[in-house]
Structure 1
Amino acid sequence: MKPFKFKAGTESWTSGTLLHWYVEVDWSDPRHKALRDLVTTSNQVLLDAGFPITPVELPWLHVTVDQISIPAQQIGSEQRSRLVDEVSARLVGIDRFTVIVGSLLSYHSGVIADLSPDEGLAALHAATRSGTRAALGDEACLYEWGLQHLTTAYAHAEADSDAAQRILRRVRPSHAPLHINAVQLVDVTAQTGDRSKTVTWERLTRISLGGQK
């Protein structure tokens, strides 16, 4: 496990904000209690064992559907309106769905939870990427998208990943549902401190799935 490095597209992200398409966790939904317990318990056991991690605070827990790699300050109001219109039109055909969070994995730069099945999240990415490209062009689509995950903690120093994984494997229950009803366009700030890594954002637009309110 090594310190996490934020990236803007394929380059280091050192300043400014970037627009992203996120799935936020709706903590007002009582069905997410199991997810709350999984995240808080797994982070606490690693902190108690002395691992150099910065837990993601619950309000900032998210799934990155896509990143828009043009600096946010360069995207004007008309472009943002077109961006929302293009993506909204493509999300109408995608219904609400549920994924399973877990197992927890000690990753090269922190702790992530696997998400499955993949089809719904892949459809969200395809829709947002297509809409972003239509509104802003190819230069806005440099983010390298892969298997989706939920980051629960960022590493801020080197640590033994195998030892962390042995601890995480003992967290039970090891899985929890995440109910996905919408995609949010957010303006993200990433901050790196000596002993911390944080991602916060301003929500710009919420687009419900399946054309629902």
Structure 2
Amino acid sequence: MEPRFQPDRLWPTGHRQLQLMIIPDLDGNPGLAELVAACRAVMAAHPATTQPVPDESLHLTVQAVFRPGHGDVDQPTRARLIEALAPELAAVPAFEMLIGSPLAYHRGVVADTHHDDGFNHLLDRARRVIARICGPDAIAYDSRPAHMALCYADGRGSSDELQRQLRHHVRPSHASLTVTAVDLVETVQVPQRCRYDSTVLRRFSLSSRTEPSATSTVCEAVI
């Protein structure tokens, strides 16, 4: 393993990345909270994973929004994007997915996902809206397969050994996550803490699995 935040991977000073993400509710998904805690206990003993992603920064990226050659997404475009996303996402059914097993790779640890048809459906609908409002280049990045970063490496060490420890000591190696909302956020890099921090701009509730989508809250202002 090697450090994630090397000079060639740093964002320009002051850059704030607009993106849609799922912020997991650990209180509402206790099995996931236990999985994350178990992974952290293993990672704490490895020289390259001493700064795991804290609870408040855990996320699954749905879609990063780019504007090549135009800098950050301006406020008028954001307003149009929010207006277009609200009814689209309100029609997407809430869903469950399986988080895990944890996978160690050369620059960190991620939790893999399974049963992710709901995620892919959400992503496809969001991508169509973003491309229509911001242009096709805005969706150049495709987040599939879905994943949740548990740690970005802050040192060097054997990823094989870390993977062995994760496999032997994190049991069960997966947990369920219920997804009922998706957030539009501004994300910044925090290299000194080996993480990405996000500010929620809007929370979009998904359609209830037991009630018609017309009864769902379309969009809640968070800030």
User: Are the counterparts in 2 of residues 53 and 110 from structure 1 also a CA contact under 8 Å?
Assistant: no
Identity rate of aligned residues, in percent? 30
1:4 corresponds in structure 2 to 4
Rounded Cα–Cα distance in structure 1 between residues aligned with 2:50 and 2:62: 24
2:25 corresponds in structure 1 to 26
User: Are the counterparts in 2 of residues 22 and 185 from structure 1 also a CA contact under 8 Å?
Assistant: yes
Deviates most, 136-145 or 125-134: 136-145
RMSD between aligned residues: 2.1
1:203 corresponds to which letter in structure 2? V
User: Are the counterparts in 1 of residues 40 and 52 from structure 2 also a CA contact under 8 Å?
Assistant: yes
Q: 1:166 aligns with which of 164, 167, 185?
A: 164
User: Are the counterparts in 2 of residues 56 and 152 from structure 1 also a CA contact under 8 Å?
Assistant: yes
Q: 2:97 aligns with which of 72, 76, 99?
A: 99
TM-score normalized by the length of structure 2: 0.84
**SS of the residue aligned with 2:172?**
coil
Q: 1:115 aligns with which of 113, 116, 137?
A: 113
The number of equivalent residue pairs is: 205
Q: 1:46 aligns with which of 43, 46, 67?
A: 43
Structure 1 position 80, deviation (Å): 1.1
Structure 1 residues 145-186: Cα deviation after superposition (integer angstroms, max 9, x where no partner) = 331111111102222011000100021121111110011000
User: Are the counterparts in 1 of residues 88 and 125 from structure 2 also a CA contact under 8 Å?
Assistant: yes
Rounded Cα–Cα distance in structure 2 between residues aligned with 1:103 and 1:155: 18
Structure 1 residues 90-115: Cα deviation after superposition (integer angstroms, max 9, x where no partner) = 22332111111111111221111111
Rounded Cα–Cα distance in structure 1 between residues aligned with 2:12 and 2:157: 24
Matched, 1:37 2:34: yes
Rounded Cα–Cα distance in structure 2 between residues aligned with 1:68 and 1:114: 23
**SS of the residue aligned with 2:111?**
strand
2:11 corresponds in structure 1 to 13
Runs of 4+ in structure 1 over 4 Å off: none
1:88 corresponds to which letter in structure 2? A
Rounded Cα–Cα distance in structure 2 between residues aligned with 1:90 and 1:63: 19
Gaps of 5+ in 1: none
Say which structure is richer in strand: 1
2:210 corresponds in structure 1 to none
Structure 1 position 73, deviation (Å): 6.8
**Structure 1 pair 51/108, CA: closer, same or farther in 2 (3 Å)?**
closer
